């Protein structure tokens, strides 16, 4: 008896289909479809709406929160200079979080139904449809939920007065990351460093998908040896 392999129907909601690919999911999801029109994820209109986010929603929602956090640390006794330094440190830590999440979580290999489904929602959809402009930045609802454990983590290592500024710096780093990521896909930079970063990131999507995990910079790819081969060779020379 010959069992016919499951085939994804791109004309139907995708989320609950992709899990059936099982071990073939990784190969399928890393064969990008270049189209500005993204697929439908869910049959339910409310769930579908929650998966779509305009890029400008990220700075509109989160920059006022960042400002509030900085002001809070100032009102608790820190100087503006101190808050700037803490913010810069928070941004620096974010770049490491950005790299770590992208490399070890977003690119985790899955093969079971539910792990494939979760991966597709988390990051696989972006690799399958890299030009889908409404699913490029992180939905604000999901970001708000994740803020709670990250705040508590910062609070474990910082004082009550420094926690807001440090967390605000990390949150600002996230805003910069999401806006940069959108621009690298849909902007047309003519000068470096933006032009270089766009070429670097599209190389990750369309050529070597297990290298080049940095979005806002190549710093941690350099540190941890995950630069794409041509770039790594260029740095050695």
Please check whether residue 189 lies inside any domain of the structure.
Answer: yes
In tens, the pLDDT along 179-227 reads: 999 999 999 998 999 999 999 999 999 999 999 999 999 999 999 999 9
Please check whether residue 9 lies inside any domain of the structure.
Answer: no
Rg (CA), the chain: 20
pLDDT at residue 200, rounded to an integer = 95
Please check whether residue 194 lies inside any domain of the structure.
Answer: yes
Q: Which long-range contacts (CB under 8 A, 24 or more apart) does 57-62 make?
A: 57/137, 57/140, 58/137, 58/138, 58/140, 58/143, 58/175, 58/178, 58/179, 59/175, 59/179, 61/140, 62/140, 62/143, 62/171, 62/174, 62/175
Please check whether residue 151 lies inside any domain of the structure.
Answer: yes
pLDDT at residue 235, rounded to an integer = 58
Statement: residue 2 has pLDDT above 50 = no
Domain that holds residue 202: 14-224
pLDDT at residue 4, rounded to an integer = 62
Task: Specify which of 34-38, 113-117, 226-230 reaches the highest per-range mean pLDDT.
Answer: 113-117
Mean pLDDT along residues 120-147: 94
Mean pLDDT along residues 81-110: 97
pLDDT at residue 35, rounded to an integer = 85
Q: What is the mean pLDDT of the chain?
A: 93
CA nearest neighbour of 193 among 207, 178, 183: 183
Confidence of residue 230 (pLDDT cuts 50, 70, 90): low
Report the share of the chain in percent with pLDDT over 90: 89
Please check whether residue 233 lies inside any domain of the structure.
Answer: no
Report the distance separating Cα 131 and Cα 21, nearest Å. Answer: 23
What does pTM read for this prediction? 0.91
In tens, the pLDDT along 40-68 reads: 999 999 999 999 999 999 999 999 999 99
In 76-191, which ranges are continuous DSSP H helix? Answer: 80-100, 113-119, 125-128, 140-157, 163-186
Please check whether residue 132 lies inside any domain of the structure.
Answer: yes
Please check whether residue 175 lies inside any domain of the structure.
Answer: yes
pLDDT at residue 5, rounded to an integer = 79
Statement: residue 87 has pLDDT above 90 = yes
Please count the structural domains in the chain. Answer: 1
Please check whether residue 8 lies inside any domain of the structure.
Answer: no
């Amino acid at each position: 008896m010959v069992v016919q392999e499951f085939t994804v129907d791109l004309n139907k909601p995708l989320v609950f289909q992709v899990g059936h690919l099982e071990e073939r999911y990784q190969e399928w999801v890393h064969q990008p479809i270049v189209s500005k029109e993204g697929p439908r994820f869910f049959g339910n209109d409310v769930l579908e709406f929650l998966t779509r986010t305009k890029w400008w929603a990220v700075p509109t929602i989160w920059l006022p929160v960042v400002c509030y956090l900085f002001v809070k640390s100032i009102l608790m006794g820190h100087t503006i200079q101190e808050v700037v330094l803490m913010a810069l440190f928070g941004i620096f830590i974010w770049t490491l979080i950005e790299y770590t999440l992208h490399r070890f979580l977003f690119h985790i290999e899955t093969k079971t139904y539910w792990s494939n489904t979760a991966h597709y929602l988390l990051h696989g959809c972006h690799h399958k449809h890299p030009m889908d402009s409404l699913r490029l930045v992180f939905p604000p609802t999901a970001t708000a939920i994740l803020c709670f454990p990250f705040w508590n983590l910062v609070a474990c290592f910082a004082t009550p007065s420094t926690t807001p500024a440090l967390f605000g710096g990390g949150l600002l780093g996230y805003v910069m990351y999401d806006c940069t990521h959108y621009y690298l896909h849909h902007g047309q930079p003519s000068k470096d460093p933006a032009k270089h970063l766009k070429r670097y990131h599209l190389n990750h999507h369309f050529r070597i998908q297990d290298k080049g995990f940095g979005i806002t910079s190549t710093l941690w790819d350099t540190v941890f040896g995950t630069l794409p081969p041509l770039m790594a060779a260029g740095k050695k020379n």
